[in-house]
Amino acid sequence: MSRRTVSTRAVVVGALLVSLLLAGVVSFYAASTPDGLTKVSQEQGFADTETEHGAADGPFAGYDAGFLDGDRLGGGVAGVVGVLVVLVLGTALAYGVRRRSTSDEQPEQPDQTRA
Amino acid sequence: MHVPDGFFDAPTSVATGVVAVAAIGVALRGARRELDDRTAPMAGLVAAFVFAAQMLNFPVGAGTSGHLMGGAVAAVLVGPWTAVLATSVVFVVQTLMFADGGITAIGTNITVMGLATVVVGYGVFRALQAVLPRRLALVPVLAGIGAFVSVPVASLLFVALYAVGGAAPVPLDTLTAAMVGVHSLIGVGEGLITFLAVAGILAVRPDLVRGARPVLAARTLEIRTGQTDRPAVTA
Protein backbone atom coordinates (compact mmCIF):
# COMPACT_ATOMS: atom_id res chain seq x y z
CA MET A 1 0.00 0.00 0.00
CA SER A 2 1.70 3.16 -1.12
CA ARG A 3 1.37 6.11 1.19
CA ARG A 4 0.76 9.25 -0.79
CA THR A 5 0.18 12.52 0.90
CA VAL A 6 -3.45 13.52 0.69
CA SER A 7 -4.18 17.24 0.62
CA THR A 8 -6.39 18.83 3.23
CA ARG A 9 -8.77 19.82 0.47
CA ALA A 10 -9.08 16.22 -0.70
CA VAL A 11 -9.84 15.07 2.85
CA VAL A 12 -12.50 17.75 3.29
CA VAL A 13 -14.11 17.12 -0.10
CA GLY A 14 -14.04 13.35 0.40
CA ALA A 15 -15.57 13.48 3.86
CA LEU A 16 -18.13 16.01 2.68
CA LEU A 17 -19.21 13.66 -0.11
CA VAL A 18 -19.59 10.89 2.48
CA SER A 19 -21.71 13.19 4.64
CA LEU A 20 -23.89 14.20 1.68
CA LEU A 21 -24.34 10.54 0.76
CA LEU A 22 -25.31 9.65 4.34
CA ALA A 23 -27.81 12.51 4.68
CA GLY A 24 -29.11 12.43 1.12
CA VAL A 25 -29.38 8.72 0.39
CA VAL A 26 -28.57 6.44 3.33
CA SER A 27 -30.91 8.37 5.67
CA PHE A 28 -33.86 6.90 3.78
CA TYR A 29 -32.94 3.53 5.24
CA ALA A 30 -32.56 4.75 8.81
CA ALA A 31 -34.72 3.23 11.51
CA SER A 32 -38.06 5.00 11.84
CA THR A 33 -38.89 3.64 15.28
CA PRO A 34 -38.98 6.19 18.14
CA ASP A 35 -35.60 7.15 19.50
CA GLY A 36 -34.45 6.31 23.02
CA LEU A 37 -35.91 9.35 24.77
CA THR A 38 -39.18 9.25 22.83
CA LYS A 39 -39.63 5.59 23.67
CA VAL A 40 -38.85 6.13 27.36
CA SER A 41 -41.25 9.09 27.49
CA GLN A 42 -44.00 6.89 26.05
CA GLU A 43 -43.35 4.07 28.50
CA GLN A 44 -43.01 6.34 31.51
CA GLY A 45 -46.08 8.31 30.55
CA PHE A 46 -44.74 11.78 29.89
CA ALA A 47 -44.71 11.79 26.10
CA ASP A 48 -47.94 13.82 26.11
CA THR A 49 -46.22 16.75 27.79
CA GLU A 50 -44.60 17.52 24.44
CA THR A 51 -46.01 20.69 22.93
CA GLU A 52 -46.26 21.86 19.35
CA HIS A 53 -42.94 22.82 17.79
CA GLY A 54 -42.72 26.48 16.83
CA ALA A 55 -41.11 25.65 13.48
CA ALA A 56 -43.32 22.67 12.66
CA ASP A 57 -44.64 24.35 9.52
CA GLY A 58 -41.21 25.02 8.01
CA PRO A 59 -40.45 23.71 4.50
CA PHE A 60 -37.95 21.17 5.87
CA ALA A 61 -39.70 20.27 9.14
CA GLY A 62 -39.25 16.66 10.14
CA TYR A 63 -36.37 16.25 7.67
CA ASP A 64 -38.84 16.18 4.80
CA ALA A 65 -38.92 18.71 2.03
CA GLY A 66 -42.71 18.49 1.95
CA PHE A 67 -42.98 20.57 -1.22
CA LEU A 68 -41.39 17.69 -3.15
CA ASP A 69 -43.14 14.49 -4.08
CA GLY A 70 -42.16 11.33 -2.29
CA ASP A 71 -40.43 10.50 0.97
CA ARG A 72 -37.19 9.48 -0.69
CA LEU A 73 -36.76 12.70 -2.64
CA GLY A 74 -38.10 14.98 0.09
CA GLY A 75 -35.99 13.39 2.80
CA GLY A 76 -32.89 13.28 0.64
CA VAL A 77 -33.15 16.92 -0.39
CA ALA A 78 -33.77 17.97 3.23
CA GLY A 79 -30.68 16.04 4.31
CA VAL A 80 -28.48 17.54 1.61
CA VAL A 81 -29.71 21.06 2.36
CA GLY A 82 -29.10 20.50 6.07
CA VAL A 83 -25.54 19.27 5.53
CA LEU A 84 -24.74 22.28 3.34
CA VAL A 85 -26.30 24.80 5.75
CA VAL A 86 -24.41 23.31 8.70
CA LEU A 87 -21.21 23.20 6.65
CA VAL A 88 -21.46 26.86 5.67
CA LEU A 89 -22.34 28.06 9.17
CA GLY A 90 -19.72 25.86 10.84
CA THR A 91 -16.98 26.83 8.41
CA ALA A 92 -17.82 30.53 8.63
CA LEU A 93 -17.75 30.35 12.42
CA ALA A 94 -14.43 28.51 12.40
CA TYR A 95 -12.81 31.00 10.04
CA GLY A 96 -14.15 33.86 12.10
CA VAL A 97 -12.69 32.42 15.30
CA ARG A 98 -9.36 31.09 14.04
CA ARG A 99 -6.02 32.66 14.74
CA ARG A 100 -4.45 34.22 11.70
CA SER A 101 -0.91 33.00 12.08
CA THR A 102 0.12 29.43 12.69
CA SER A 103 3.55 30.15 14.01
CA ASP A 104 3.55 28.04 17.15
CA GLU A 105 3.51 24.39 16.28
CA GLN A 106 4.94 24.12 12.84
CA PRO A 107 5.80 26.29 9.90
CA GLU A 108 2.81 26.95 7.76
CA GLN A 109 2.63 24.83 4.71
CA PRO A 110 1.88 26.17 1.26
CA ASP A 111 -1.72 25.15 1.52
CA GLN A 112 -4.11 24.51 -1.29
CA THR A 113 -6.66 26.82 0.25
CA ARG A 114 -4.76 29.87 -0.82
CA ALA A 115 -3.97 28.88 -4.33
CA MET B 1 -32.32 12.20 22.45
CA HIS B 2 -33.60 15.53 21.14
CA VAL B 3 -35.71 17.07 23.88
CA PRO B 4 -38.94 18.55 22.46
CA ASP B 5 -40.77 21.61 23.71
CA GLY B 6 -42.76 20.97 26.87
CA PHE B 7 -40.64 18.32 28.61
CA PHE B 8 -39.06 20.84 30.99
CA ASP B 9 -40.45 23.78 32.92
CA ALA B 10 -39.46 27.31 32.01
CA PRO B 11 -36.85 27.88 34.76
CA THR B 12 -34.95 24.74 33.79
CA SER B 13 -35.09 25.61 30.09
CA VAL B 14 -33.82 29.10 30.85
CA ALA B 15 -31.08 27.72 33.10
CA THR B 16 -29.80 25.29 30.47
CA GLY B 17 -30.04 28.12 27.95
CA VAL B 18 -27.76 30.23 30.13
CA VAL B 19 -25.36 27.29 30.51
CA ALA B 20 -25.30 26.79 26.74
CA VAL B 21 -24.71 30.46 25.97
CA ALA B 22 -21.95 30.66 28.57
CA ALA B 23 -20.30 27.52 27.25
CA ILE B 24 -20.44 28.79 23.68
CA GLY B 25 -18.94 32.08 24.82
CA VAL B 26 -16.04 30.32 26.51
CA ALA B 27 -15.67 27.97 23.54
CA LEU B 28 -15.40 30.90 21.13
CA ARG B 29 -12.27 31.94 23.02
CA GLY B 30 -10.93 28.44 23.53
CA ALA B 31 -11.41 27.48 19.89
CA ARG B 32 -8.97 30.21 18.86
CA ARG B 33 -6.21 27.96 20.09
CA GLU B 34 -7.51 25.02 18.09
CA LEU B 35 -8.33 26.67 14.79
CA ASP B 36 -5.97 27.97 12.16
CA ASP B 37 -6.04 28.13 8.39
CA ARG B 38 -5.29 24.43 8.19
CA THR B 39 -7.85 23.14 10.71
CA ALA B 40 -10.73 25.58 10.16
CA PRO B 41 -12.13 23.65 7.16
CA MET B 42 -12.18 20.53 9.35
CA ALA B 43 -14.46 22.27 11.87
CA GLY B 44 -17.18 22.95 9.32
CA LEU B 45 -16.77 19.48 7.95
CA VAL B 46 -17.12 17.84 11.36
CA ALA B 47 -20.30 19.82 12.01
CA ALA B 48 -21.71 18.69 8.65
CA PHE B 49 -20.74 15.07 9.36
CA VAL B 50 -22.39 15.13 12.80
CA PHE B 51 -25.56 16.53 11.23
CA ALA B 52 -25.58 13.80 8.58
CA ALA B 53 -24.84 11.02 11.06
CA GLN B 54 -27.63 12.22 13.35
CA MET B 55 -30.11 11.49 10.57
CA LEU B 56 -29.10 7.84 10.67
CA ASN B 57 -31.15 6.26 13.41
CA PHE B 58 -30.04 2.71 14.08
CA PRO B 59 -32.22 0.14 15.85
CA VAL B 60 -31.51 -0.67 19.49
CA GLY B 61 -33.75 -3.42 20.75
CA ALA B 62 -37.39 -3.80 19.87
CA GLY B 63 -39.16 -0.72 18.58
CA THR B 64 -36.48 1.74 19.62
CA SER B 65 -33.71 3.55 17.79
CA GLY B 66 -30.89 5.92 18.48
CA HIS B 67 -28.43 8.10 16.65
CA LEU B 68 -25.03 9.68 17.09
CA MET B 69 -24.74 12.62 19.47
CA GLY B 70 -21.29 13.50 18.19
CA GLY B 71 -19.50 15.34 20.98
CA ALA B 72 -16.75 12.75 21.32
CA VAL B 73 -15.99 12.33 17.63
CA ALA B 74 -15.97 16.09 17.11
CA ALA B 75 -13.70 16.71 20.10
CA VAL B 76 -11.15 14.09 19.09
CA LEU B 77 -11.10 15.33 15.48
CA VAL B 78 -11.03 19.11 15.98
CA GLY B 79 -10.59 19.71 19.70
CA PRO B 80 -13.12 20.10 22.53
CA TRP B 81 -13.75 23.86 22.23
CA THR B 82 -14.36 23.65 18.50
CA ALA B 83 -16.52 20.58 19.14
CA VAL B 84 -18.79 22.62 21.41
CA LEU B 85 -19.23 25.17 18.61
CA ALA B 86 -19.72 22.54 15.90
CA THR B 87 -22.34 20.53 17.80
CA SER B 88 -24.14 23.74 18.81
CA VAL B 89 -24.43 24.76 15.16
CA VAL B 90 -25.95 21.35 14.44
CA PHE B 91 -28.57 21.63 17.18
CA VAL B 92 -29.55 25.19 16.27
CA VAL B 93 -30.01 24.28 12.59
CA GLN B 94 -31.95 21.14 13.57
CA THR B 95 -34.46 22.96 15.71
CA LEU B 96 -34.97 26.01 13.48
CA MET B 97 -34.97 24.32 10.06
CA PHE B 98 -36.04 20.77 10.80
CA ALA B 99 -38.24 21.15 13.90
CA ASP B 100 -36.06 18.52 15.58
CA GLY B 101 -35.59 19.36 19.26
CA GLY B 102 -37.76 22.05 20.80
CA ILE B 103 -36.93 25.70 20.27
CA THR B 104 -37.39 26.32 23.99
CA ALA B 105 -35.30 23.20 24.61
CA ILE B 106 -32.31 24.37 22.55
CA GLY B 107 -30.27 25.10 25.67
CA THR B 108 -31.15 21.69 27.10
CA ASN B 109 -30.20 19.90 23.90
CA ILE B 110 -26.91 21.77 23.54
CA THR B 111 -26.10 21.05 27.18
CA VAL B 112 -27.13 17.40 27.30
CA MET B 113 -26.23 16.16 23.82
CA GLY B 114 -23.43 18.59 22.98
CA LEU B 115 -21.58 19.78 26.08
CA ALA B 116 -21.99 16.58 28.06
CA THR B 117 -20.76 14.31 25.29
CA VAL B 118 -17.84 16.62 24.52
CA VAL B 119 -16.76 16.81 28.16
CA VAL B 120 -17.24 13.13 28.94
CA GLY B 121 -16.15 11.76 25.57
CA TYR B 122 -13.02 13.88 25.36
CA GLY B 123 -12.30 13.52 29.08
CA VAL B 124 -12.35 9.74 28.92
CA PHE B 125 -10.31 9.80 25.70
CA ARG B 126 -7.59 11.98 27.22
CA ALA B 127 -7.55 10.08 30.50
CA LEU B 128 -7.04 6.78 28.69
CA GLN B 129 -4.44 8.35 26.43
CA ALA B 130 -2.50 9.50 29.47
CA VAL B 131 -2.16 6.04 30.97
CA LEU B 132 -1.89 3.89 27.84
CA PRO B 133 0.98 3.59 25.37
CA ARG B 134 1.04 6.40 22.84
CA ARG B 135 0.25 4.44 19.74
CA LEU B 136 -1.49 5.86 16.72
CA ALA B 137 -3.65 2.77 16.32
CA LEU B 138 -5.08 3.31 19.78
CA VAL B 139 -6.46 6.78 19.00
CA PRO B 140 -9.68 5.62 17.27
CA VAL B 141 -10.19 2.91 19.89
CA LEU B 142 -9.91 5.33 22.79
CA ALA B 143 -12.14 7.81 20.95
CA GLY B 144 -14.73 5.06 20.55
CA ILE B 145 -14.57 4.18 24.23
CA GLY B 146 -15.00 7.82 25.20
CA ALA B 147 -17.95 8.09 22.84
CA PHE B 148 -19.53 4.93 24.24
CA VAL B 149 -19.32 6.24 27.80
CA SER B 150 -20.56 9.72 26.88
CA VAL B 151 -24.05 8.66 25.81
CA PRO B 152 -25.33 6.98 29.01
CA VAL B 153 -23.74 9.81 31.02
CA ALA B 154 -25.65 12.31 28.87
CA SER B 155 -28.83 10.36 29.58
CA LEU B 156 -28.03 10.57 33.31
CA LEU B 157 -27.74 14.34 32.95
CA PHE B 158 -31.16 14.34 31.32
CA VAL B 159 -32.56 12.44 34.30
CA ALA B 160 -30.94 14.86 36.74
CA LEU B 161 -32.46 17.80 34.88
CA TYR B 162 -35.79 16.02 34.78
CA ALA B 163 -35.67 15.55 38.54
CA VAL B 164 -35.29 19.32 38.89
CA GLY B 165 -37.63 20.61 36.21
CA GLY B 166 -39.45 17.81 34.43
CA ALA B 167 -43.02 18.52 33.35
CA ALA B 168 -44.51 15.32 34.77
CA PRO B 169 -44.02 13.47 38.03
CA VAL B 170 -42.11 10.36 37.04
CA PRO B 171 -40.47 7.89 39.45
CA LEU B 172 -36.78 8.68 39.14
CA ASP B 173 -35.51 5.16 39.69
CA THR B 174 -37.46 3.74 36.76
CA LEU B 175 -36.66 6.77 34.62
CA THR B 176 -32.96 6.36 35.37
CA ALA B 177 -33.00 2.65 34.60
CA ALA B 178 -34.91 3.15 31.35
CA MET B 179 -32.79 6.06 30.12
CA VAL B 180 -29.40 4.60 31.02
CA GLY B 181 -30.42 1.18 29.75
CA VAL B 182 -31.42 2.23 26.25
CA HIS B 183 -28.66 4.83 25.98
CA SER B 184 -25.99 2.31 26.89
CA LEU B 185 -27.06 0.45 23.76
CA ILE B 186 -27.10 3.66 21.73
CA GLY B 187 -23.63 4.34 23.15
CA VAL B 188 -22.36 1.21 21.40
CA GLY B 189 -23.39 2.75 18.09
CA GLU B 190 -21.87 6.08 19.10
CA GLY B 191 -18.61 4.28 19.87
CA LEU B 192 -18.56 2.41 16.57
CA ILE B 193 -19.33 5.47 14.43
CA THR B 194 -16.73 7.49 16.33
CA PHE B 195 -14.14 4.74 15.86
CA LEU B 196 -14.82 4.57 12.13
CA ALA B 197 -14.77 8.32 11.57
CA VAL B 198 -11.56 8.88 13.54
CA ALA B 199 -9.87 5.86 11.97
CA GLY B 200 -10.89 7.07 8.52
CA ILE B 201 -9.27 10.50 8.87
CA LEU B 202 -6.31 9.01 10.73
CA ALA B 203 -5.61 6.64 7.86
CA VAL B 204 -5.13 9.43 5.34
CA ARG B 205 -3.99 12.42 7.39
CA PRO B 206 -3.16 11.67 11.04
CA ASP B 207 -2.05 15.26 11.52
CA LEU B 208 -5.65 16.42 10.96
CA VAL B 209 -6.83 14.42 13.98
CA ARG B 210 -6.36 16.73 16.94
CA GLY B 211 -6.43 13.88 19.44
CA ALA B 212 -3.52 12.20 17.64
CA ARG B 213 -1.13 15.11 18.07
CA PRO B 214 0.43 13.96 21.35
CA VAL B 215 1.13 10.61 19.70
CA LEU B 216 2.57 12.15 16.57
CA ALA B 217 4.75 14.50 18.60
CA ALA B 218 6.16 11.56 20.58
CA ARG B 219 6.66 9.53 17.45
CA THR B 220 8.60 12.11 15.47
CA LEU B 221 10.97 12.42 18.41
CA GLU B 222 11.53 8.71 18.65
CA ILE B 223 11.60 7.27 15.18
CA ARG B 224 12.13 8.64 11.77
CA THR B 225 10.80 6.32 9.15
CA GLY B 226 10.38 7.12 5.53
CA GLN B 227 6.71 7.76 6.06
CA THR B 228 5.37 11.26 6.05
CA ASP B 229 2.89 12.19 8.71
CA ARG B 230 2.33 15.56 7.20
CA PRO B 231 2.15 16.75 3.66
CA ALA B 232 5.55 17.37 2.27
CA VAL B 233 6.36 20.98 1.61
CA THR B 234 6.99 20.18 -1.98
CA ALA B 235 4.14 17.92 -2.90
Q: Return the HEC string of B87-102.
A: HHHHHHHHHHHHCCCC
Contact between B118 and B71 under an 8 Å Cβ cutoff? The reply is yes
Q: Which residues of chain A does B230 touch, with a Cβ-Cβ cutoff of 8 Å?
A: 5, 106, 109
HSE-CB for B5 with a 13 A CA cutoff: 13
Is the pLDDT assigned to residue A109 strictly greater than 60? no
Q: How confident is the model at residue A13, as a pLDDT?
A: 95
- With CB atoms and an 8 Å threshold, state whether A94 touches B41: yes
ipTM, 2 dp: 0.91
Q: Determine the residue of chain A that is closest to B197 in CA distance.
A: A15
Mean pLDDT value across residues B25-50: 96
Closest CA to B39 of B218, B205, B217: B205
- With CB atoms and an 8 Å threshold, state whether B98 touches A58: yes
Q: How far is CA A39 from the centre of its chain?
A: 24
Contact between A32 and B57 under an 8 Å Cβ cutoff? The reply is yes
* Helix/strand/coil for B58: strand
- With CB atoms and an 8 Å threshold, state whether B32 touches A98: yes
Q: What's the CA dihedral at B8, B12, B18, B23 to 10 degrees? A: -70
Is the pLDDT assigned to residue A96 strictly greater than 80? yes
Is the pLDDT assigned to residue B234 strictly greater than 80? no
Q: Which residues of chain A does B6 touch, with a Cβ-Cβ cutoff of 8 Å?
A: 49-51
Q: Determine the residue of chain B that is closest to A61 in CA distance.
A: B98
Q: What's the pTM value of the predicted model, to 2 decimals?
A: 0.90
Q: How confident is the model at residue A99, as a pLDDT?
A: 82
In angstroms, the CA B194 to CA B74 distance is 9
Is the pLDDT assigned to residue B101 strictly greater than 50? yes
**Beta pairing, strands B58-59 & B65-66:** antiparallel
Contact between B147 and B50 under an 8 Å Cβ cutoff? The reply is no
- With CB atoms and an 8 Å threshold, state whether B65 touches A113: no
Quote the percentage of chain B above a pLDDT of 90.
90
Interface of A with B in 14-53 (CB under 8 A): 15-16, 18-20, 22-23, 26-27, 30-37, 39-41, 43-46, 49-53
Is the pLDDT assigned to residue B177 strictly greater than 80? yes
Is the pLDDT assigned to residue B57 strictly greater than 70? yes
Q: What is the pLDDT of residues A47-85, one digit of tens each?
A: 999 999 989 999 999 999 989 988 899 999 999 999 999
Quote the percentage of chain B above a pLDDT of 70.
93
By Cβ distance, the residue of A7, A43, A61 closest to B98 is: A61
- With CB atoms and an 8 Å threshold, state whether B52 touches A92: no
Shortest distance between the Cα of B26 and any Cα of chain A, in A, equals: 12
Which residues lie closer than 8 Å to A82 by C-beta, 6 or more apart?
Answer: A23, A60, A63, B51, B52, B55, B93, B94, B97, B98
Contact between B201 and B77 under an 8 Å Cβ cutoff? The reply is yes
Q: How confident is the model at residue B9, as a pLDDT?
A: 96
In angstroms, the CA B232 to CA A34 distance is 49
pLDDT band at A115 (very low <50, low <70, confident <90, very high): very low
In angstroms, the CA B59 to CA B66 distance is 6
